[in-house]
Amino acid sequence: MTGFRKPRYAARFAENAADILAAQRLRYRSFRAAPGPEGETGLDADDFDRVCRHVLVEDTRDGRLVCCFRILPLRDGSEIGRSYSAQYYDLEALKSYTGPMVEMGRFCVDPAVQHPDILRVAWGAVTGFVEENGVELLFGCSSFHGTEAEEYHDAFALLAERHLAPKRWLPRVKAPRVFRFAARLGLRKPDLKLAMKRMPPLLRTYLVMGGWVSDHAVIDKDLNTLHVFTGVEVRSVPKARARLLRTRDA
């Protein structure tokens, strides 16, 4: 992963406690901060930070951190109970998955920075790690901002219509508060333009790679999000998309 870059942005693994602290500050600004000075000093931290590897995307001009996420490699499905996602979803079906897996979490981009190369570099770094380590399943929680589902009904209807997980891997309900969008909206014809507008960028990227989701969203009051379990089986990623993600030059 070291050296994956575009002219303006580069990705690397966190190397020390200061790097992780910077990621926790960016996560706080992205997920938790209200306007005001606290947004510059607060931290988003949990016990998973100790067991994950942290990826930083920085501006090559000044070293500013513009994006971060963490990854948790698992030997196979027998270890999926160690994942962050397992707190919220019944992942019993995935315990039989025989290949190497990686959970990607806390993915965020600095709210004050908008540039398409940030996501390109981030996903290029993920692709490099997946290929170097023979990963067969990439998964995580994809979040919609806020906990009111109504404004996302078209997006959820599209997920129900086209992107549900294969039955053999489908996560079951575990969290106490969920929105069962497949059952509620399965017959709704989505407005495709509105659905894609409401779809989070991270989830859109998963979907164009052939990703699939749970049939329900977890209502997460702590992070003020609705999130769906999302998986991508690496062998199903379209070849053209995989080539694009591997491109390391501008």
- Confidence bin at 237 (pLDDT 50/70/90): confident
**What is the mean pLDDT of the segment spanning 11-27?**
96
Tell me which of 34-43, 126-135, 164-173, 201-210 is least confident: 34-43
CA dist., res. 87 & res. 140, Å (int): 12
| Domain residue ranges in the chain | 4-246
pLDDT 10s digits, 84-141:
999 999 999 999 999 999 999 999 999 899 888 998 899 989 988 999 999 999 999 9
pLDDT 10s digits, 24-46:
999 999 988 765 555 567 899 99
**What is the mean pLDDT of the segment spanning 45-74?**
96
Q: What CATH topology corresponds to 4-246? A: Aminopeptidase (3.40.630)
| Exposure b/e, 82-98, CB count within 10 A at least 16 = b | ebbbbebbebebbeebe
The answer, yes or no, to whether residue 243 has pLDDT greater than 70, is no
* Residue 244, pLDDT score: 56
- Confidence bin at 249 (pLDDT 50/70/90): very low
Angle between helix axes 116-132 and 239-246 (nearest 10 degrees) is: 100
How many angstroms from the chain centroid is the CA of residue 100? Answer: 18
* Tokens found for residue 79: 């270890």
* CA atoms in the 13 A half-sphere facing the CB of 114: 1
